[in-house]
Homo-oligomer: A and B are copies of this chain.
Amino acid sequence: MQDLEELTGLLKAIADKRRLQIIDLLSYGKMCVCNVTEQLGLSQPNASHHLKILKNAGLIISTKRGRWVDYELNQEKLEHLQERLGEVISESNEEVDFIKINCDKKS
Which residues in A have some Cβ–Cβ distance to B below 8 Å? Answer: 1-2, 4-5, 7-8, 11-12, 14-17, 20-21, 23-25, 27-29, 31-32, 34-35, 38-39, 67-68, 73, 75, 78, 82, 85-86, 88-92, 94, 96, 98-103
Contacts and interface: CB of A to CB of B under 8 A. Distances in A.
A68 B15 CA distance: 32
A103 B38 contact: yes
Number of copies: 2
A57 to B, nearest CB: 11
Contact of A20 (B31, B73, B88): B88
A24 B90 CA distance: 8
A68 to B, nearest CB: 6
